[in-house]
Amino acid sequence: MREATEMNATTEVFSKQPAQWWCDYLELTKPRITLFCLLMTLGGAAMAPEQIVLRTLLFALFGTALSVGSANALNMYIERNTDKLMKRTASRPLPSGRMNEMGALIFAIALGLGSAVVLGVWVNQATCLLSLFALLSYAFVYTPLKRMTPHALLVGAIPGAMPPLLGWTAVTGEVTAPGLVLFAILLIWQIPHFIAIAVNHKEDYKKAGIKTWPGERGGRSATFQALIYSLLLIPISLMLNWLGIASPVYGIISVLLGVWMVVLSARGFNPVKHAGWAKKLFVASLVYLPVLTLTLAVDLLFIR
């Protein structure tokens, strides 16, 4: 009976239409996250003082897309059984049984190798090595660590913050202070962003055995963490002013955005305003980063 069931599942997988195949493979790369990372990579490249060579930039974006897609696909492969236990992930290609596991693994590895070739040959060594570090640490350190400790969030924030630094090194060829500030902004931003997600999906993560800050340490501790890192966003973002990269216009807007994040994070301590604070913080975090990036781009192009 079991063999017949497995055979039927395999037959169903291989009988899918080509369009469904492509959709499932694309879903493995988490296209929205990949697109977001490409925008951050582009932002890092745009801030670099050297003139951007279009050919190099396009290869950098392509290589970054392959690297991020590989990391996401490996993450889905490793967590395929865990994903079955959560409502928000149960319909993904692997846990739903729509995709062959070996095919997904080969696809993920191929993307990773492709990214190393593209970035190493047509961009530069610094960008290639940083990208490989981000890919491997995300897939093989952060992903298994999520089931061991809530501190995994801090570990995962490191590869998650790499895209703007990749854009910077693609143009400059080296890791320097402005690129590191961009890296730090994205690293710090991720903490309140993902704490908000963890609060909203607390029970789902518990069922799957994933250790999150609100699940392990409670809502008050999670709120405190969100507040601390939201506060850190203000001085970190202002470092671009201290380095002489950005104008006071950028500085004012970055402070206003940071204060907004701080106020929303602090509402988690207020019993009256606690309901729904995590959803509001999540939405604010989605607004914060694009607005800050756009402000910086406009600042560099038209104000500085």
259's CB contacts (< 8 A; 6+ apart) are 234
Write out residues in the chain with pLDDT < 50, as ranges: 1-15
Q: What is the pLDDT of residue 55?
A: 95
Identify the CA nearest to 296 among candidates 185, 203, 143. Answer: 185
| Residue matched to tokens 């992903």 | 143
In the chain, where the domains are located:
1-174, 176-304
Identify the CA nearest to 37 among candidates 188, 238, 183. Answer: 183
- Using CA atoms, how far apart are residues 203 and 215, in angstroms rounded to an integer? 8
Q: Is residue 209 left, alpha or beta, with left meaning phi > 0 and alpha meaning psi from -120 to 50?
A: left
Q: How does pLDDT run across 194-204, given as a tens digit for each residue?
A: 999 999 888 88
- Using CA atoms, how far apart are residues 86 and 119, in angstroms rounded to an integer? 35
Q: What is the pLDDT of residue 4?
A: 44
Identify the CA nearest to 86 among candidates 206, 195, 194, 196. Answer: 206
Question: What are the distances in angstroms from CA 212 to CA 38, 106, 145, 191?
Answer: 27, 30, 11, 11
Phi–psi pair at 17, nearest 5 degrees: -70, 150
Q: What is the pLDDT of residue 8?
A: 46
Q: What is the pLDDT of residue 304?
A: 66
- Using CA atoms, how far apart are residues 172 and 255, in angstroms rounded to an integer? 28
Please state which CATH number belongs to domain 1-174. 1.10.357.140
- Using CA atoms, how far apart are residues 283 and 226, in angstroms rounded to an integer? 14
Q: What is the pLDDT of residue 286?
A: 93
Would you say 115 and 64 are in contact if contact means Cβ atoms under 8 Å apart? yes
Q: What is the pLDDT of residue 269?
A: 86
Token duo for residue 220: 């008050």
Tell me the HSE value of 30 on the side-chain side, using a 13 A CA sphere. 17
CA 85 to chain centre: 22
Q: What is the pLDDT of residue 6?
A: 43
Identify the CA nearest to 246 among candidates 195, 176, 294, 184. Answer: 294
Q: What is the pLDDT of residue 47?
A: 86
Domain 176-304 of CATH type 1.20.120:
yes
Q: What is the pLDDT of residue 9?
A: 46
Q: What is the pLDDT of residue 273?
A: 61
Would you say 168 and 50 are in contact if contact means Cβ atoms under 8 Å apart? no
Question: What are the distances in angstroms from CA 177 to CA 13, 168, 259?
Answer: 49, 10, 24
Q: What is the pLDDT of residue 14?
A: 47
Question: What are the distances in angstroms from CA 152 to CA 101, 158, 159, 196?
Answer: 25, 10, 12, 15
Helical spans, DSSP H, in 29-174: 31-47, 54-78, 80-83, 101-122, 125-137, 143-145, 152-160, 162-172
pTM of the model: 0.90
